[in-house]
């Protein structure tokens, strides 16, 4: 963020001013609206669709207009937009035409963060929502009264955000479009770095460069960088960095590491700085969840949190929404849902399945964006060949048009035990035919594929 933009924001994000949020129904935008309201700013918003988020905002006294129109910005002092609202949006166009300043969502979060003594920002290609959620549980147990911004729903908060009055903010920090470079972390956490969002980044080196910049946003005198010491891309990106570096991982040469495992990476002792710190019993399974927990423990240790609060916080965490979330049963089959939409995330999710003891695994996968499906085609095929049966849904386009000539049928055709159905109704009908006791039915993807599992579970009612 430039100095001009920062000083500009300081004029507008003050009590008594009015801010209009375009796309306020989005997870991060909804949280932003409530945080700004808590700062004494008069907030209004608009969104294309009515949702639980917009209803929650209205219930909190924030007027929300469904649909975008130029008149919605009348009387506002500034406009804040989601990344999906471009200059041709009628509200953005009207603001630009009349000289009302337009700010990006991430700029606003960065400005808000700068007011906190501790800004703990979780970044990485995979695991951000889970690690941020785990840290939130710890911070709540420690009585830090944090402000929180998560890219998903957390049962503890009844939302994806929280407005606290403590001196700590905890934020999920996404690299897409370099939005996390607007943030002002005092503790920058990097969970891993992988090739993703290749519709924006040129290549892996470009991604590593952005993560290096993110780490260097921490203050030189007291900034801390917490990094997955076993991830080569992460350590390459941070080579020679002039900040206090805390590494976490599975080996004893890390600064934070586990020992004395029991029950599939879920029960272990934790050592920080080679001294026993605490014992942890996780209620989520898998190596990836253990690693996410270690990142949160490292951040808590850096903040001076009491070990008992870490233990209690992690024990109370049962998973973030859409991260191996139990949806119900159908004819004796358990239905779970997971947000994984990158081959690395798919691998982590599927790696945790054998520990659950199911007789058969059926994965229903909805690819997310044409560009990602095309760029990582062979990696998707490799992971989706692992279940006993894979059912493919149409690609969830999100922000894209299909300019690369790829389809879910192409993916299904490359997998020995795979089927493709163009509609959710057909997928649900197929699952009704084959579901049996001992089955794990796992809906996976970042779009709306969770609706299939929910529809199936409702048939059991």
Q: Is 17 helix (H, G, I), strand (E, B) or coil?
A: coil
Q: At residue 460, does pLDDT exceed 90? A: no
What does the pLDDT read at residue 345?
87
So what's the pLDDT on residue 1? 40
Q: Quick: pLDDT tens for 296-327.
A: 999 999 999 999 999 999 999 987 666 778 88
Query: What is the band of 53 on the pLDDT scale with cuts at 50, 70, 90?
Result: confident
Average pLDDT over the chain, rounded to an integer: 91
Q: What is the pLDDT of residue 2?
A: 39
Say which residue, 211 or 10, is predicted with more confidence.
211
Q: How far is CA 304 from CA 301, 308, 389, in A?
A: 5, 12, 47
Length of the chain: 461
pLDDT tens per residue across span 60-81: 999 999 999 999 999 999 999 9
According to DSSP, residue 11 is labeled H
Domains in the chain: ranges and CATH: 3-104 (3.40.50.720), 116-315 (3.40.1190.10), 325-459 (3.90.190.20)
CA-to-CA separations, 268 to 260, 277, 312, 376, 377, in angstroms, rounded: 5, 11, 14, 35, 36
116-149, pLDDT tens digit by residue?
999 999 999 888 999 999 999 999 999 999 999 9
What is the reported pLDDT for 203? 85
- The arithmetic mean of pLDDT across residues 386-412, rounded, is 93
Decide the pairing of beta strands 418-420 and 333-338: unpaired
């Amino acid at each position: 963020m430039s100095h001009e933009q920062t000083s500009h924001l300081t004029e507008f994000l003050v009590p008594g001013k009015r801010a209009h949020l375009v796309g306020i129904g989005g997870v991060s935008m909804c949280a932003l609206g409530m945080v700004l309201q808590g700062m004494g700013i008069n907030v209004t918003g608009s969104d294309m669709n009515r949702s639980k988020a917009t209803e929650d905002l209205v219930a909190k006294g924030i007027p929300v207009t469904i649909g975008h129109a130029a008149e919605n910005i009348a009387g506002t002092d500034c406009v804040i937009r989601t990344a999906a609202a471009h200059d041709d949006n009628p509200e953005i166009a009207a603001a630009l035409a009349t000289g009302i300043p337009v700010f990006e969502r991430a700029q606003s979060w960065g400005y808000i963060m700068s007011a906190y003594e501790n800004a703990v920002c979780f970044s990485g290609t995979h695991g951000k929502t889970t690690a941020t959620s785990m840290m939130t549980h710890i911070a709540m147990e420690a009585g830090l009264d944090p402000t929180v911004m998560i890219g998903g729903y957390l049962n503890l908060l009844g939302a994806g955000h929280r407005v606290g009055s403590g001196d700590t903010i905890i934020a999920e920090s996404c690299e897409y479009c370099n939005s996390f470079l607007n943030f002002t972390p005092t503790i920058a956490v990097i969970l891993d770095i992988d090739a993703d969002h290749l519709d924006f980044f040129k290549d892996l080196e470009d991604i590593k460069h952005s993560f290096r910049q993110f780490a260097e946003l921490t203050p030189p005198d007291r900034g801390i960088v917490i990094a997955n010491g076993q991830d080569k891309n992460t350590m390459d990106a941070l080579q020679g960095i002039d900040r206090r570096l805390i590494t976490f991982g599975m080996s004893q040469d890390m600064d934070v590491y586990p020992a004395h495992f029991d029950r599939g990476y879920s029960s272990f002792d934790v050592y920080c700085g080679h001294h026993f710190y605490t014992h942890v019993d996780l209620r989520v399974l898998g190596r990836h969840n253990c690693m996410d927990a270690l990142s949160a423990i490292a951040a808590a240790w850096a903040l001076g949190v009491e070990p008992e609060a870490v233990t209690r916080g992690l024990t109370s965490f049962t998973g973030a929404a859409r991260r191996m979330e139990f949806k119900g049963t159908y004819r004796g089959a358990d239905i779970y849902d997971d947000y994984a939409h990158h081959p690395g995330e798919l691998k982590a999710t599927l790696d945790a399945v054998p520990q659950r003891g199911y007789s058969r695994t059926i994965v229903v996968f909805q690819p997310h964006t044409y560009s990602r499906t095309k760029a990582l085609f062979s990696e998707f095929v490799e992971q989706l060949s692992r279940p006993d049966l894979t059912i493919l849904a149409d690609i969830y386009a999100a922000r894209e048009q299909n300019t690369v000539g790829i389809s879910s049928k192409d993916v299904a055709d490359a997998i020995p035990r795979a089927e493709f159905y163009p509609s959710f109704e057909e997928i649900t009908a197929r699952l009704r035919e084959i579901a049996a006791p001992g089955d794990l039915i796992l809906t996976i993807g970042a779009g709306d594929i969770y609706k299939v599992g929910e529809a199936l579970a409702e048939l059991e009612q």
